[in-house]
């Protein structure tokens, strides 16, 4: 069967539906959350739109309390799962197009979620729709499981699998081609600073506020500090020299309280590889740490500058672990906040390969941060995930990928975490092809239309081969 030809016949529908899904803003919004829309209005509207579309297209659908749902086709006792998500990270700044306009330019659809994970979700949807429309015989049921909290705490799949059956096998279209067989462990930790009851009154510089970042799994693109300085003009001049010297973008201003406001503009990327971005908050802390501060603010800045800045591998902390096959241990400080009345908060996204003893790493982190008056609590923790290289799942997907692309299906390990780890046997499978730049979580995130169609064709054959 010529899968690619069948998808080309449906090209306009695939593109149109992908654009429609991308035009829904689906960022976590706790302020509009209710019992029936647990992650806010935007995510719920997007999620309901997709389920309604699937029902209209003749699929069986089910909603699990607004947390997650599925789109099902086929018959049989066993179940194949395709795990997708429709929530996205905040759009941030720096876009050349409307992040929710889904405009087409240079052969690409540009929008937040284009590659992570709404574009791939629609590719998987049309792949399953093709299998259904062709009325191909299946011996298993296939479910597109739609999550709504992947970019935060995975509360969606936790809820879903408490109530629904576990697929015997499956994949998540939420990473790279060829096949991701190993994913790092991922732990989000919130460290909070104990507030000093009394602060010295005669210090030269006081840190009033500090803010950077929106999500733990994103490198913060901007850092901003509000300070009281005994020599604001001098600090302003030295800061401007620092920006030039370090080839950074930034600015200074005075607020209405005549306090100095310093801003560093970094580069936001996915938190799985912080070295590809520029952490605006940590770069700002590096500058500020050269001054003498009030005790509480000084602890905050010294910790950031001396233990985390420009060191995503944890060498300064003594927790680095190098693994050429499975990837290094990495640390991303995705959310940094401070105010002089409540102290500081540091959000750490820790990723570690199989072989690292997590309890030892956490113990070391806790001990070092305790010296700066910070105590930590684990928000979420997923252990490393790996599928046997000889599994029928990997053999099937490898065969499909090689047949359709003519390329070798080399197995990969990544620092990212996908819904594949929610399955007893699951891998990440596309949509990013080997020659493409990964722009997930970045301004002007996009998916090439050629790749969208090719991925749809690969997914259609993969679904058929797994479920026939």
Residues acting as catalytic residues: 87, 150
Tokens of 363: 């113990």
3-class DSSP state for residue 268? Answer: coil
Residue 356 CA to residue 363 CA, distance in Å, equals 13
Tokens of 105: 């330019």
Query: Apex CA 81: angle with CA 41 and CA 358, to 5°?
Result: 80
Diameter over CA atoms, the chain: 79
- Beta pairing, strands 179-183 & 385-386: antiparallel
3-class DSSP state for residue 305? Answer: helix
3-class DSSP state for residue 151? Answer: coil
Question: Which helix (DSSP H) or strand (DSSP E) does residue 363 occupy?
Answer: helix 358-370
Q: 98 — phi, psi (to 5°)? A: -60, 120
Nearest alpha carbon to residue 142 among 85, 81, 59: 81
Strands (DSSP E) contained in 204-298 are 205-212, 222-229, 249-254, 260-265
Tokens of 425: 């046997």
Question: Which helix (DSSP H) or strand (DSSP E) does residue 108 occupy?
Answer: strand 108-110
Nearest alpha carbon to residue 51 among 43, 42, 41, 62: 62
> Are 199 and 294 a contacting pair, CB within 8 Å?
yes
* Alpha-carbon distance values, 81 to 66, 71, 73, 169, 419 (Å): 19, 10, 11, 6, 10
Nearest alpha carbon to residue 215 among 270, 172, 175, 264: 270
Establish how many alpha carbons lie within 13 A of residue 10's alpha carbon, considering only the half-sphere containing its beta carbon. 24
3-class DSSP state for residue 361? Answer: helix
Residue 199 CA to residue 19 CA, distance in Å, equals 54
> Are 110 and 103 a contacting pair, CB within 8 Å?
yes
């Amino acid at each position: 069967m010529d899968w690619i030809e069948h998808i080309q016949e449906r090209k306009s529908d695939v593109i149109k539906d992908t654009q429609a899904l991308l035009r829904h803003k689906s960022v976590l919004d706790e302020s509009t959350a209710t019992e029936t829309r647990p992650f806010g209005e935007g995510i719920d509207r997007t999620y309901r739109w997709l389920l309604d579309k699937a029902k209209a297209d003749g699929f069986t659908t089910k909603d699990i309390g607004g947390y997650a749902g599925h789109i099902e086709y086929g018959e049989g006792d066993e179940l194949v799962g395709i795990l997708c998500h429709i929530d996205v990270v905040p759009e941030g700044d720096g876009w050349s197009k409307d992040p929710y306009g889904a405009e087409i330019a240079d052969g690409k659809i540009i929008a937040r979620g284009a590659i992570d994970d709404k574009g791939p979700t629609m590719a998987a949807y049309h792949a399953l729709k093709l299998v259904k429309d062709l009325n191909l015989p299946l011996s298993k049921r296939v479910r597109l499981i739609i999550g709504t909290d992947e970019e935060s705490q995975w509360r969606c799949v936790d809820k879903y699998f408490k109530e629904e059956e576990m697929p015997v096998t499956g994949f998540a279209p939420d990473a790279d081609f060829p096949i991701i067989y190993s994913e790092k462990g991922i732990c989000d930790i919130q460290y909070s600073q104990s507030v000093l009851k009394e602060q010295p009154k005669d210090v030269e510089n006081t840190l009033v506020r500090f803010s950077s970042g929106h999500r733990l799994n994103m490198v913060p693109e901007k850092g901003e500090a509000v300070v009281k300085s005994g020599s604001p003009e001098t600090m302003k001049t030295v800061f401007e020299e620092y920006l030039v010297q370090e080839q950074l973008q930034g600015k200074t201003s005075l607020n209405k309280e005549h306090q100095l406001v310093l801003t560093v503009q970094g580069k936001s990327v996915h938190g799985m590889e912080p070295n590809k971005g520029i952490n605006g908050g940590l770069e700002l802390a590096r500058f500020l740490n050269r001054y003498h501060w009030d005790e509480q603010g000084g602890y905050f800045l010294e910790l950031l500058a001396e233990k985390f800045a420009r060191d995503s591998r944890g060498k300064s902390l003594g927790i680095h672990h190098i693994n050429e096959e499975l990837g290094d241990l990495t640390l991303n400080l995705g959310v940094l906040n401070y105010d002089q009345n409540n102290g500081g908060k540091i959000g750490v996204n820790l990723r570690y390969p199989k072989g690292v003893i997590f309890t030892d790493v956490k113990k070391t982190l806790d001990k070092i941060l305790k010296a700066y008056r910070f105590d930590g609590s684990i928000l979420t923790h997923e252990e490393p995930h790996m599928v046997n290289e000889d599994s029928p799942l990997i053999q099937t997907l490898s065969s499909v990928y090689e047949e359709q692309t003519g390329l070798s299906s080399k197995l990969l390990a990544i620092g990212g975490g996908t819904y594949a780890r929610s399955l007893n046997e699951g891998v990440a499978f596309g949509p990013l092809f080997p020659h493409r730049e990964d722009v997930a979580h970045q301004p002007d995130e996009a998916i090439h239309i050629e790749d969208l169609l090719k991925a749809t064709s690969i997914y259609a054959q993969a679904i058929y081969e797994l479920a026939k």
